[in-house]
Structure 1
Amino acid sequence: MSIVKVLLVDDQELMRRGLRKMLEVEDGIEVVGDAADGEEALMLAAAHHPDVALVDARMPAMNGVELISRLSVRHPGVAAIVLSTFDEDDYIFGALRGGAVGYLLKDCTPEELIDAVRRAGRGETVLASPVAARLIAEIRRTPAAPSVLRDGDRVSAREAEVARLIAVGASNREIAARLLLTEGTVKNHVSSLLRKYGLRDRTRLALHLQDIPRP
């Protein structure tokens, strides 16, 4: 089993200690550091190369949105998840635009948090249900990206199957099991679909390709 290395970033020491105790007892998860502010987090990310960063939205000096934007530039391999009390649009959309792969609320269950860490470590997006609903509503309010293939590209039958399963909310692991593929192969198909359709994330792919025909 591969180890998911986690960096904790929260200005409250009690919160950091609680998260560390919760995660350290889980197989396949290792907490490689915890930081009380953004600058310390950037230094620890450079030193320990975490796979996942759990980031509080509100912190002094450098808030979570700014930290995630900097992490995306300096350490693009780190999958950042916001863990916050607040579900305000500025934090949600700012964090996702900055490169976060997830946004969870602090009233989530321990099981939901642990599952989110594992999924983020596999390259998946993780959103709390209220956050996902608001994100989808915002996407539907904005002009849709054209779901037209670029010149010379076409969607294969396998990519169409992957897209249909994404549309109903299946994870990479679930798609792999359903289609008898490895998770790495599924991830490659998802990346290919995003490139071909000029889309930025799985949510937009699900919305625009629900009824993609087989070639």
Structure 2
Amino acid sequence: MDTDSSPHHDASPGKGLLVVDDHELLRLGLRTLVQSHAQANGQVVQVFEAHSLQDALTTFGDNAAAIQLVLLDLHLPDAHGLSGVEAFMAEFPEAHVAVLSGVSDPGLQREALALGARAYLTKSGDLAEVVRYITASHVIRIPHTAHQDTKAHDPEDDTGTPASAATSATSGRTVRTASGEWIPITARQAQVLDWILTGWSNRQIADHANLSEGTVKNHVSTLLLLLGARSRAQLISQLR
């Protein structure tokens, strides 16, 4: 991540987030991750979504007072590269815009910041880094004690073995990502995660939980995004 400065601390409580990306799965993953973090801290964060530049301009124009931060993908159906950043900043120069990109390119970073973006965030790594920037931008407000509680939820037993991810997901509703960070997940996500670790298929989970197979697939896809895994097999290996 590359930024021009630390995020401005001028957000008022209750302001939300606009995620601009044409990939529904990424929008879903970010929305779930952000709302899970907010819920863990007793807050509700509104997440707006847009799949194109024009959709983003309209959504922000209609809801500017409720949006603290805009996450703007560089590759949209109607904008490619920095043209989307340039167009957005031209229409809303005071907006707090952070670029989302699939590549880490120092030259592109410098140009994005020169156009008015506050940060350049890559999607190729763990989405937890994006959430850290969202938190630093005061979309999610984490009390000092919450940070201490999170650290306390990352214990090692007397033998030095990390606490079981499955146990943490079920009882504490936190789970360790591929990068080693502990994040909160919802009760339903924790259930689905435990069933995945048991080796159940989507159909078995759907039948057991009385859910549609499509809903289960969405939960599984979200968990893969949140925890930085590329497949169910990698997720199972990572958490065992």
TM (norm. structure 2) is 0.45
Query: Helix, strand or coil: the match of 1:100?
Result: coil
More moved, 79-88 vs 58-67: 58-67
- Displacement of 1:52 in angstroms is 0.6
Contact 1:32 1:48 (8 Å CA) reproduced: no
Partner of 1:2: 13
- Displacement of 1:12 in angstroms is 0.8
Contact 1:69 1:98 (8 Å CA) reproduced: yes
Q: Does 1:115 align with 2:123?
A: no
- Give the RMSD, CA atoms, in angstroms: 2.3
Pairing partner for 2:92 from 75, 80, 90: 75
Contact 2:103 2:124 (8 Å CA) reproduced: no
Contact 1:4 1:29 (8 Å CA) reproduced: no
Q: Does 1:48 align with 2:63?
A: yes
**Structure 2 vs 1, CA of residues 29 and 80 (structure 1 numbering), >3 Å: closer, same or farther?**
farther
Pairing partner for 2:53 from 13, 38, 42: 38
Q: Does 1:99 align with 2:110?
A: no
Query: Helix, strand or coil: the match of 1:20?
Result: helix
Whole-Å separation in 1 of the counterparts to 2:92 and 2:59 = 11
5+ long unaligned stretches in structure 2: 1-11, 140-240
**Structure 2 vs 1, CA of residues 72 and 17 (structure 1 numbering), >3 Å: closer, same or farther?**
same
Whole-Å separation in 1 of the counterparts to 2:22 and 2:107 = 20
Q: How many residues align?
A: 122
- Displacement of 1:116 in angstroms is 0.3
Contact 2:18 2:48 (8 Å CA) reproduced: yes
Structure label with greater radius of gyration: 2
Alignment of 1:1-215 (within 5 A): 2-27=13-38, 28=43, 30-49=45-64, 50-63=67-80, 65-121=82-138
In the TM superposition, what whole-angstrom CA distance separates every residue of 1:13-64 from its partner, at most 9, and x where no partner exists?
A: 1111111111122325624411111110000010111211111122222135
Q: Which amino acid aligns with 2:51?
A: A
**Structure 2 vs 1, CA of residues 31 and 63 (structure 1 numbering), >3 Å: closer, same or farther?**
farther
**Structure 2 vs 1, CA of residues 43 and 18 (structure 1 numbering), >3 Å: closer, same or farther?**
same
Whole-Å separation in 1 of the counterparts to 2:123 and 2:49 = 17
- Displacement of 1:108 in angstroms is 3.7
Whole-Å separation in 1 of the counterparts to 2:138 and 2:86 = 18
4+ residue runs over 4 A deviation: none
Partner of 1:155: none
Identical columns (%): 25
TM (norm. structure 1) is 0.50
**Structure 2 vs 1, CA of residues 40 and 110 (structure 1 numbering), >3 Å: closer, same or farther?**
same
Whole-Å separation in 1 of the counterparts to 2:96 and 2:58 = 16
5+ long unaligned stretches in structure 1: 123-215
Contact 2:86 2:115 (8 Å CA) reproduced: yes
Whole-Å separation in 2 of the counterparts to 1:89 and 1:98 = 14
Q: Which amino acid aligns with 2:61?
A: A
Contact 2:74 2:82 (8 Å CA) reproduced: yes
